[in-house]
Amino acid sequence: MINQLKSVYSIAVLCLLLGIPRSSYYEKINRTESKRSRENRELTAKIKEIHEASNKIYGAPKIHSVLINKGYRISIKRVQRRMREAKIWSVTVKKFSPKASKSQIESRKNILNQDFEASKPNQKWVSYITYIHTNHHGWCYLASVMDLCTMRIIGYHFSKSMDTSLVIN
C-alpha cells in the first residue's frame, strides 16, 4: 500500500498514518533471503526429488540416509520438519494379517467323496474363493465356479467386499 501511495505522499507520513515504524518499512523492502531460508528451500527441493524417485514410498529416515550418503550434514528432525512443511508423506500399505472369523462354521456333507470325474456337463461343479491384494483397492475377493466335465469356469465374481452376487456365463 505504501508503494502505491509514495508518489503522492512522503513515506514518513504514510508510515505515521499506518502506525508502523519507518525503519520496518525500509527493512522490509531491502531484506534479502537469509542463508537458512535459502538452504531450507534447496533442501526441500532435494527431499521432493528423492521422494518422487522412490515412488513416494520413502519416509524421513530413508530420505535422511540418502541425503547423508550424498554428503549433506543434516539431522533427521530437520528432514522431518521440511517434509511436514512441504506436506510430503510416505505412502505405506499395511501388511495383511489374517484374522479368525467369529461366526460359526457350518459343516457340509462331502457328496463328491473325492470323485472329480464327470461324464457330462453340469453334473459336478466346484468352487474356489481367493483374495488378491491390489494397490488401488486393497484386498479384493475372487470367487469362481468350474464345471468338472468341461474344466471351464462357468461363473465368477470379483469384489472389493465379500458379497454373494455371482456372474454366470
Q: Where do the domains of the chain lie, and which CATH numbers do they carry?
A: 1-31 (no CATH), 33-92 (1.10.10), 125-168 (no CATH)
Question: Containing H/E element for 153?
Answer: strand 152-159
Read off the pTM.
Answer: 0.47
Q: How far apart are CA 168 and CA 153, in angstroms?
A: 9
Whole-number Å distance between alpha carbons of 95 and 86 = 27
pLDDT tens for the chain, residues 1 to 169: 777 777 787 888 888 888 888 888 888 888 888 899 999 999 999 999 999 999 899 999 999 999 999 999 999 999 999 999 999 998 877 777 778 778 887 888 888 888 888 889 888 898 888 888 888 777 888 889 999 899 999 999 888 765 555 555 5
**Helix pair angle (35-53, 76-85), 10° resolution:** 80
